[in-house]
A and B are shown apart, each in its own frame.
Chain A
């Protein structure tokens, strides 16, 4: 059983080197197109003028901050139950990526908030719950890194990730459950999205690019995680010497 698990990591490590390189190139090119589309081609907003264009970074980052959390919790759950090493690594490596997305969403939101609302920060339900998400991510990373035994650390971190899952619907529905300064959803609702098609298309495109970026960075980070854990094994030595 043990052998097949290590073989799994080995297989992943050996076969993703080129994949990650190609993906990086594709993501970067698509990102340039998306930025050009959102910042230059898409029309101005009738009310906000050009300042609304920050949604092309803000919305995908905020979206991914939730999505990555779900990935982290689900892989963490699988790692807890079936003790699959690669799931542990995926789960814990997602945490750092998710934390970055959360930070980007918060910072771009603040930059947008000043000219639009008239303030950088308010303690409404949406902003507060998103800040809690950042603390959850940081907590998970800190707990994991405080263990010398990484398998034990991954276990506790996964448990925290699963418990923190309750925050995800709270963030998503906060703008509907409570009166918040933050506006309601533009894209994710049953009715027609409340953005004009010429503005919606680049937004959905950027969402796709951010997803691709997540996959790309995840593969790179998982490779790093595998290396850190397996650097003293024979197969890694052999592989690096080849």
Chain B
């Protein structure tokens, strides 16, 4: 494949076309990236970056020992955190199978205040780790040992 003069012209044409469209779409995406946020983190809520009393999504980890089920109803209260800030959540409904303490969640709902979130839908966010149950148990043990020391 020799690069002749005509080839060169074509390459330049294609490159110009490509970069024009690419830069156009990058600017567009950059401008929209505020709206591309799929969910807010508890820290963002704490810093008042999320609007109160309108439909938003909040994602975080369920705090250990924070899930409280209310008897004879589907109501649950729990706390989500992102290692920095915490947010209390109230939800009425069925939780997904993977919901659990220490697991990630993404919720749709409304903020009543900076501290309380009323969830309408709770989705479990899965992390990218995959391991057999035996390995998971072993890691838990190890963590405990380290914690005890």
Asked if B145 lies at the interface with its beta carbon under 8 angstroms from chain A, I say no
Closest residue on chain A to residue B21 by CB atoms: A163
User: Would you call B123 and A118 a contact (CB within 8 A)?
Assistant: yes
Return the contact of A195 from the options B17, B29, B98, B129 (Cβ within 8 A). B129
Q: B residues bordering A, Cβ < 8 Å?
A: 1, 7, 10-11, 14, 17-18, 21-22, 25-26, 29, 33, 36-41, 59, 95-98, 103, 106, 121-137
Please, what's the 1-or-0 string for A29-68, where 1 marks a CB less than 8 Å from any CB in chain B? 0000000000000011111100010010000000000000
B130 touches A186 (CB 8 A): yes
Interface bracket on A = 35 or more
Can you name 6 extra interface pairs (CB under 8 A) apart from A47-B98, A81-B11, A194-B129? Answer: A44-B132, A80-B14, A178-B37, A179-B37, A184-B128, A196-B131
Nearest residue, chain B, Cβ from A163 = B21
Do B135 and A196 have beta carbons less than 8 Å apart? yes
| Binary interface encoding of chain A residues 66-97 relative to chain B, with 1 for a CB under 8 A from any of its CBs, else 0 | 00000000000110111000000000000000
Among B18, B37, B40, B123, contact of A117 (Cβ-Cβ < 8 Å): B123
Residue A238 at the chain B interface, CB threshold 8 Å: no
Secondary structure class of chain A's binding surface, majority of residues: loop
Contacting residue for A198 out of B36, B95, B125, B132, CB 8 A: B132
Binds B, one of A119-127, A137-145, A223-231: A119-127
Q: Is B132's CB under 8 angstroms from A199's CB?
A: yes
- What per-residue 1/0 map shows which CB atoms of A166-189 lie under 8 Å from chain B? 100010000001111101111000
Q: Does A159 contact B (CB under 8 A)?
A: yes
A125 and B14 contact, Cβ closer than 8 Å, known pairs A43-B133, A55-B130, A117-B124: no
- The answer, yes or no, to whether A162 is at the interface (CB within 8 Å) is yes
Write the A202-238 contact mask toward B (1 if CB under 8 angstroms, else 0): 0000000000000000000000000000000000000
**A48 partner, pick from B22, B36, B39, B98, beta carbons under 8 A:** B98
Residue contact B36 to A178, C-beta cutoff 8 Å: yes
B124 engages A46 (CB within 8 Å): no
Contacting residue for A45 out of B36, B124, B125, B130, CB 8 A: B130
**Are B126 and A185 in touch, CB under 8 angstroms?**
no
Give the residue of B29, B96, B128 whose beta carbon is less than 8 angstroms from that of A183: B128
Structural contact, A159 and B22, CB atoms closer than 8 A: no
- Report the separation of the CA atoms of residues A82 and B11 in the bound assembly, to the nearest whole angstrom: 10
Q: List 16 A-B contacts (CB under 8 A).
A: A52-B130, A81-B10, A115-B96, A116-B126, A117-B106, A117-B125, A122-B38, A123-B38, A166-B26, A170-B29, A181-B39, A181-B125, A194-B130, A195-B130, A195-B131, A199-B130
Roughly how many angstroms separate A178 CA and B39 CA in the complex, as a whole number?
A: 9
